[in-house]
Amino acid sequence: MQTQVPQQKKANKLASTKLGGKLVNDYWEMVFRAREQGKLVCWYEGSAINPFLQAADICWVHGEAYSALLAARHQEVTAQKAAEERGYQRELCSYARTHLGCAITNLRNPVPPDAPFVSMAEDKYLSSRLPPPDMIISAYAYCSTGQQWDEMTSRVFGKKVPIFNVSLPWIWAQKPDAGYLKGQEWEETSAYVARQLNDMVKFIEQQTGKPYPWDRLRELMGQVKRASELRLESMALCSRRPAPASFFDWVASIAPINHLPVGPEIVDYFQAVKTEVEQRAARGEGAIHKEKYRLFFDGIMNWNKVGWLAEKFAQYDAAVIAGRYTHMAFWQEPGLIDPQDPVLGMAQNYLVCPNNHSAPILIGQILKLCEQYEVDGMVLHASRTCRAFTNPQFLIADAASKRLGIQTSTFEGDVTDESFYKDELVNSRVEAMLEAIDARRARAA
């Protein structure tokens, strides 16, 4: 007999994030129809270069977004199997493996002509639906995997698709003047990336055969800036007790800030989110019904388990409030963007991706968030095939414990390969961490 979870133990998800569902579906339908509409298609991963592409009326396809979508809908296996059959090993980044699997099925098992796209929920050919690229742009901070993934995608398509690389250096920050958003290394690296973005625009012009519409980019970046500000303002409200929204609500809001079409719709979306968060804060309504613990989530999301994990932590009365993936990513420095001259600010936002500062700076930013949100503990997702995120995790956990006295706990999973997720380990480790928090509180009392 299935055990029903009592209502008061369920996650109290933001209603406004459901608006994003329609935006997501509309975007992917637009992608699936791009060829019919005569649009050029650009495949890219990592950095949010989509405003550059949208401004030029190019259809953009973000690889991780599609892999995450498939995993969240539990429809990733077809693509992953296709990749494995070709010889990609399971220890390879599962985002890449899923996306490369889509490229392979696109070539080898194209969608039958009598199977038009109906809806995401009903479609059986999602792994074949992505339109093949007319160009590839690689702009991936920190993770060598991203750049190599784009290069191999180009080879899957027979090297017939032009590819452009933007190199984003890691901020090592060894010099005395180095710090977050400051120092000679930061200034020089920002300028280097900005120069490459300007060259990328020339590449785009070569592909479209038209002058680049800079005014349109300026307009779009004004909207990105506003959407980002609203998102950050909403997040900041969660330092209250109880936190009115959770890390999982912010995960559900990634698509609108990351890769959905820029326009009034994303500004409206984040305004709606902020309004709901403000209303909850005013009436003392939390993201979970009984907030006994406040946690920070380090690591990338486990896309196969978003809902599952949201409910799991709710059952433990643990509010997961903030995370590196949501709070240190996705245009999180809108103050750097000058919509009238956006390229440098865009370059700098790409450089502050959640992994692209070396550990001392990264840890400093994470601990600030832990203090801001007054967390009791930190859960770290050891994502098997995403080493970009797992790289500094031992250092982060050590610092959190020594410098802030927070309990930490690690669980094993992956970005989009469900076979790496170990549920019983999550249970036992999280329970142990919460018991340790209780014991510490009892000692302090």
Residue 317 CB, shortest distance to other proteins, in Å, is: 29
Binding mask 384-413 toward other proteins (x if CB under 8 A, else -) reads xx-xx-xxxxxx------------------
User: Binding of other proteins at residue 128 (CB under 8 A)?
Assistant: no
Contacts of 109 (CB under 8 A, 6+ apart): 82, 128
- Residue 158 found at the interface with other proteins (CB under 8 A): no
Whether residue 102 contacts residue 66, with contact meaning beta carbons closer than 8 Å, is answered with: yes
Residue 125 sits in the site that holds other proteins (CB under 8 A): no
> Of 57, 91, 371, 431, which one interacts with other proteins (CB under 8 A)?
91
Q: Which residues is 396 bridged to in the sheet?
A: none
Where in 58-87 is the site for other proteins (CB under 8 A)?
A: 86-87
The tokens describing 409, both together, are 């706990």
Is the distance from CB of 124 to CB of 117 less than 8 angstroms?
A: no
Nearer residue to other proteins within complex by CB, 150 or 298: 150
- If one asks whether residue 163 binds other proteins (CB under 8 A), the answer comes out as yes
What 8-state DSSP symbol labels residue 182? Answer: B
Q: Is 145 among the residues that bind other proteins (CB under 8 A)?
A: yes
Do 34 and 290 meet the contact criterion of CB atoms below 8 Å apart? no
Which C-beta is closer to other proteins: that of 167 or that of 206?
A: 167
Q: How far apart are alpha carbons 293 and 377 in whole angstroms?
A: 8
Is residue 207 a contact residue for other proteins (CB under 8 A)?
no
Give the interface segment with other proteins, choosing from 108-116, 163-171, 230-238, 331-339 (CB under 8 A): 163-171
Q: Under 8 Å CB-to-CB from 209, ≥6 apart: which residues?
A: none
Dihedral (CA of 397, 385, 186, 373) sign: negative
| Residues 344-373 close enough to bind other proteins by CB under 8 A | 358-360
| Cα 76 from Cα 84, distance rounded (Å) | 12
Q: Does 108 bind other proteins (CB under 8 A)?
A: no
Among 53, 65, 96, 366, binds other proteins (CB under 8 A): 96
Dist. CA 366–CA 375, nearest whole Å: 11
DSSP, collapsed to helix, strand or coil, labels residue 237 as helix
User: Given the rule CB under 8 A, which residues bind other proteins?
Assistant: 86-89, 91-93, 96, 138, 142-145, 147-152, 154-155, 159, 163, 165, 167, 169-170, 172, 174, 192, 195-196, 199, 358-360, 382, 384-385, 387-388, 390-395
